[in-house]
Each structure stands twice: as structure tokens, then as C-alpha cells.
Amino acid sequence: MLEEKWITDRIPTEKFPHYTRANAGEVLADPVTPLGWTFGWESGIVLGCRDGFVSYGVFDADEYGDPPETFGLFGGYFYNCLTSARMMGVRMPGVTPEAIDDAYFDAHPDVPPYVAEDWHESERHSEKLAETGAYLLSAAEHPPIEEHKKIGNEIRASRPNLSELDNQELLARARSLQPHLISMF
């Protein structure tokens, strides 16, 4: 049987096999454009999500594949990766994968039950998540967020009249913004 595949579809990995449309359907247009996915998401937001999970303490970067399994695109539709989200519940002290499911996916019928695997538990990640959580709950401000606001305002203030740019200039402008998609996600 020949399976239909959208030109930018992902193939789920053994390590990150479960994805859901729950809490994803309102994120992107249906179907997602190939350019929007490859340029904005695969080359930007997906990498930023990976970096966020790593800095928060959920994963090590090498636990992900290439591209990182933070989000998926199947049949042209955007999906959330259940494994990525659930690892917060597995690895964060006092939280469970079911609590993450309830918070993120609101008992959506398409969400399969969590099944533990040997690699899920990690004391080192649990310690890091406890530290990160304590910081976030006690901090009055978070300097990286303030820096991102400053950069965003500078980008907006320096935005050229896009209607006056030729295709090469538009492409150069778009490419110059990709690193910000990663760091600001």
C-alpha cells in the first residue's frame, strides 16, 4: 500500500513516536505551507523549542534527533510531540505525565496513554528542573526576556518598507530574522 505523504512531512522516530493535534490545530493554517514549515519552523521555532527544553532541563540536546522531534508535520498538518511535553511530567519533581496531558491537551480523545520507557527517568534532569522551577518562581525578572524585548523592538523600529524591497532583499531580510525565531522561542 502506497502511503500519501505531504512534501514536508516528518517521519516519527522510535524515541519520539507519539504526536497529537490536541492544542496544535489553532497554531498554524491547515495545511501548513511548505515554505512556512521549512523556513520558519524547521529552521527556526523547532530549534528554539529544542533549545528551550534543554535550557529548562528537560532534555540534553543529544537526546533529540535531527531535526529535533519537538513538533511534527504530517499530511500537511501541525502536531505537538507528546514525548517532548510528557518528559516535563516524568522528569520534573512533583509532576506526572498525566498532569502534563491535562494541562496541555485537556483530556483530548486523540492523546494515547503514557507508557514509560527506560530512558525517561533521569535524576540529573529532575535536579535541573527543580533548580529551574525554583528560579522561575522566585525571580522578579528574567534578563533574557528583557533582552529579547529590546531586540524585538529594535527589529520593528528598523524594519524597511517591505513593498520597496526586491526578492533578493526580502529573502535576505527573512534570513536575517531566522536566528531570532530560534532564540526567542
Q: What is the pLDDT of residues 172-182, one digit of tens each?
A: 999 999 999 99
Q: Name the pLDDT band for 7 (thresholds 50, 70, 90).
A: confident
Q: What is the mean pLDDT of residues 130-136?
A: 95
Do 111 and 105 touch, CB atoms closer than 8 A?
yes
Largest CA distance in the chain: 57
The C-alpha atoms of residue 175 and residue 185 are separated, in whole angstroms, by 16
Do 71 and 53 touch, CB atoms closer than 8 A?
no
Please say if the pLDDT value at position 4 is more than 90: no
Do 5 and 70 touch, CB atoms closer than 8 A?
no
